[in-house]
Amino acid sequence: MQIFTDIRSASSHARNLCQRQVLVPTMGALHRGHLELFRLARELAGQEGEVIVSIFVNPLQFAAGGDYGKYPRPEAGDAALCQQAGVDVLFRPATAEMYATEPSVFVEETELAQTLCGKSRPGHFRGVCTVVSKLFNILTPDVAIFGEKDFQQLAIIRRLVRDLNFEIEIVGAPTVREEDGLACSSRNQYLNVAEREQAPVLRRALLRAKDGGTSAAEVLKKTREMISAAPLSRIDYASIVDAESLQPVSLIDENAVLAVAVFFGQTRLIDNIRLR
Ligand code: AMP
């Protein structure tokens, strides 16, 4: 595995290679969810192609006072996991390398980013779109993989690629879960024992919503009740939206997605489910 920390060598490596290159952007603190994305990347790249993983905790997508400072950064462990997973290239730039000058140009999606997490975390998707555009420009992959766990992010990245004409195929990967149904997340390690015990209520509530009829209002009411029954939970949002427009729907059809964001203590967890 080759590790690049500077943009120039990562970029010239990527440009001098003719084989299919598949990128998996991450913020590190790797877990089974990430490893599944790496496995899919190898499948799409083939043995001849190249799997590229980026690890960068992007300050631009964190709110002031958010968890940017304490976000876990287990560098050596992450590199070992990449190596074991058969990753070909690890791109791990320092913050000063990615943002060498004070940036005055940003990439902003102005429609899909107005709802759900975009509403609760102003500026978050501007940070995501900006850093993903930079990674696409630096690494010029043929394919990039994003997890369906971050369902709004995936929709916004598809829009970014469409509207800015990146010649990159975007592939969504199913959510990987712990045995009790909690979606794997780098932030799960912030949960204390009691919070961790209660967090799987998210998955149970989402599964229950699947056979809750066609009225979005009724399904949302039951979902909120079920989540709120966990004493340590605090709902940020629970919404039923159209999978493409991300606009709320009142009638549940085959495009309806139930998306939730719930705090357990200081930790904000997200999850979603296709209702049909
Ligand atoms: P992160 O490191 O949290 O920014 O995540 C990097 C990529 O991994 C994103 O595309 C996420 O959607 C994806 N991802 C995170 N958790 C999971 C999971 N449990 N299952 C599948 N993909 C995931």
Q: Is the pLDDT of residue 105 over 90?
A: yes
Question: What is the per-residue burial (b if ≥16 Cβ within 10 Å, else e) of 82-110?
Answer: beebebbbbbbbeeeebbeeeeeeebebe
Q: Is the pLDDT of residue 17 over 90?
A: no
236: left (phi over 0), alpha (psi -120 to 50) or beta: alpha
Contacts of 76 (CB under 8 A, 6+ apart): none
Q: What is the pTM of this model?
A: 0.97
Per the DSSP assignment, residues forming a β-bridge with 170 are 144
In this prediction, residue 211 carries a pLDDT of: 86
In this prediction, residue 112 carries a pLDDT of: 98
pLDDT, one tens digit per residue, over 237-272 is 999 999 999 999 999 999 999 999 999 999 999 999
Q: Which of 161, 25, 166, 134 is nearest to 89 (CA)?
A: 25
pLDDT, one tens digit per residue, over 33-74 is 999 999 999 999 999 999 999 999 999 999 998 999 999 999
**Protein residue with least CA distance to atom 7, ligand 1:** 26
Q: Which residue carries 């990430």 as its tokens?
A: 34
Tokens of 106: 């940003």
In this prediction, residue 19 carries a pLDDT of: 94
Question: What is the per-residue burial (b if ≥16 Cβ within 10 Å, else e) of 144-161?
Answer: bbbbbbbbbbbbbbebbb
Assess whether the C-beta atom of 127 lies below 6 angstroms from ligand 1.
no
94 CA to centre of ligand 1 in angstroms: 21
| Degrees to nearest 5, angle at CA 145 with 140 and 147 | 150
Tokens of 107: 């990439």
Assess whether the C-beta atom of 147 lies below 6 angstroms from ligand 1.
yes
**Protein residue with least CA distance to atom 12, ligand 1:** 147
In this prediction, residue 158 carries a pLDDT of: 98
Contacts of 276 (CB under 8 A, 6+ apart): 252, 253, 254, 255, 256
Q: Is the pLDDT of residue 25 over 90?
A: yes
